[in-house]
Amino acid sequence: MSSKLTFKPEEDFPDLSKHSNHMAHILTKSMYGNLRDKVTKNGFTIDQAIQTGVDNPGHPFIMTVGCVAGDEESYDDFAELFDPIIEARHSGFKKTDKHKTDMNPNNLKGGADMDPKYVLSSRVRTGRSIRGLCLPPHCSRAERRQVEKIACAALANLTGDLKGGYHPLSGMSDAEQDQYIEDHFLFDKPVSPLLLASGMARDWPDARGIWHNDEKNFLVWVNEEDHLRLISMEKGGNISGVFHRFCRGITEVEKHMKAAGYEYMWNEHLGYVLTCPSNLGTGVRAGVHLKIPLVSAKTDHFDAILKKMRLQKRGTGGVDTASNDGTFDISNADRIGFSEVELVQMVVDGVEFLISCEKKLEKGEDIAADVAAIAAK
């Protein structure tokens, strides 16, 4: 018997008294007692799942989830914890609900010419996990290398404006990595406590890398937080064009991966299965870097707009950064319960509204009535 099992679960229960994340709000001693000794078929435990939430009590901008999955089975084997976390994080999405999808970019309204004075760049990204391989918090070195191999083989088949090449981190100089990161093409080095505590940064930089097309507007990150992160991006306010390329690129990658005999983790309830419960469903985060110093200075109005329009803010440097000049990364707050088109539409509508408010404030006009009149989505 493991020495760990000689202790009662209540003796093992983490101190969450000063925590503010979804896991800490939901995990009880009784629940922990039910789950502590369970192990997925790949050897992942509930203690591994919650470690990131134990080590990181909260976040200044967003309510973090506080747990991760180590494999596809985590969401079933630890459903007693994951189901209520998913419901809390995703606005009431229940274990009986089914995910919906719409990857037809022609259904998006507007978003082709948002004012570039305010919209500095536009991006749409999602994640994908390859079935049969453990997720980054728990994968072995061999599994991680297999993800890289499968991804590179599929991406090598892309043609036309999507044609590009793969750049492994292990082959990059520090200067090259820093330039990619500065250009927002590459995920940062593993300094985020959320990534480190979850185990995603093990063996860095082994089998990590970036694939991008020649125009550097369609990118695939390999083995960061998820097996794959697929990103379409460009400067300015044409998020419609970004979304069209996003849908086309993802369809092509999936086609070539399936032809090689692989498939993504997906089910009718959760949609696309990813490492963090916050990204389940579509996995889509559509965002723009938006410069709105006057609106953002009116904190109450700014927060009310974001809440009513189902958006969230981050600093432009990522989830762990703040804004110093009124420029924020504004994106959809939801991932599941809405289709891809619906989520991008929320960003288009919300950003256009924020720009209209910024222009009013520039003229010395009040926006209180405009904010009050927003119908919650």
At residue 217, the pLDDT reads 95
Q: How confident is the model at residue 63 (pLDDT cuts 50, 70, 90)?
A: confident
Mean predicted lDDT score pLDDT of the chain: 92
Per the CB < 8 A criterion, the answer to whether 90 and 336 are in contact is yes
At residue 324, the pLDDT reads 65
The mean pLDDT of 348-373, rounded to a whole number, is 95
- CA pair distance 313, 329, nearest whole angstrom: 6
At residue 196, the pLDDT reads 87
- CA pair distance 28, 36, nearest whole angstrom: 12
At residue 176, the pLDDT reads 83
Question: What tens digit of pLDDT does each residue of 279-325 get?
Answer: 999 999 999 999 999 999 999 999 999 999 999 998 765 554 555 68
Q: How many CB atoms lie within 10 A of CB 36?
A: 18
The mean pLDDT of 9-16, rounded to a whole number, is 94
Question: What tens digit of pLDDT does each residue of 242-253 get?
Answer: 999 999 999 999
At residue 319, the pLDDT reads 52
Per the CB < 8 A criterion, the answer to whether 138 and 70 are in contact is yes
CA distances from 254 to 176, 251, 297 (A): 29, 5, 43
Does residue 339 surpass a pLDDT of 60?
Answer: yes
Question: What tens digit of pLDDT does each residue of 177-230 get?
Answer: 888 777 777 777 677 787 888 999 999 999 999 999 999 999 999 999 999 999
Amino acid residing at 89: R
Q: How confident is the model at residue 348 (pLDDT cuts 50, 70, 90)?
A: very high
At residue 377, the pLDDT reads 65
- CA pair distance 225, 74, nearest whole angstrom: 16
At residue 61, the pLDDT reads 61
Higher pLDDT among residues 134 and 169, named by residue:
134
At residue 88, the pLDDT reads 94
- CA pair distance 168, 147, nearest whole angstrom: 13
Q: What proportion of the chain, given as a percentage, has pLDDT over 90?
A: 82
Question: What tens digit of pLDDT does each residue of 78-136 get?
Answer: 999 999 999 999 989 999 999 999 999 999 999 999 999 999 999 999 999 999 999 99
Per the CB < 8 A criterion, the answer to whether 194 and 68 are in contact is no
Name the residue among 71, 101, 103 with its Cα closest to residue 274: 71
Query: Can you give the chain as a three-state secondary structure string?
Result: CCHHHHCCHHHHCCCCCCCCCHHHHHCCHHHHHHHCCCECCCCCEHHHHHHHHHHCCCCCCCCCCCCCCCCCCHHHHCHHHHHHHHHHHCCCCCCCCCCCCCCCHHHCCCCCCCCCCCEEEEEEEEEECECCCCCCCCCCHHHHHHHHHHHHHHHCCCCHHHCEEEEEHHHCCHHHHHHHHHCCCCCCCCCCHHHHHHCCCCCCCCCCEEEEECCCCEEEEECCCCCEEEEEEEECCCHHHHHHHHHHHHHHHHHHHHHCCCCECEECCCEECCCCHHHCECCCEEEEEEECHHHHHCHHHHHHHHHHCCEEEEECCECCCCCCCCEEEEEECCCCCCCHHHHHHHHHHHHHHHHHHHHHHHCCCCCHHHHHCCCCC
Q: How many CB atoms lie within 10 A of CB 88?
A: 17
The position carrying tokens 């209180």 is 368
Q: How confident is the model at residue 270 (pLDDT cuts 50, 70, 90)?
A: very high
Q: How confident is the model at residue 60 (pLDDT cuts 50, 70, 90)?
A: low
Per the CB < 8 A criterion, the answer to whether 318 and 307 are in contact is no
Q: In this structure, is the dihedral angle defined by the CA atoms of residues 290, 296, 301 and 307, taken in order, positive or negative?
A: positive
How far from the centroid of its chain's Cα atoms is residue 346's Cα? 16
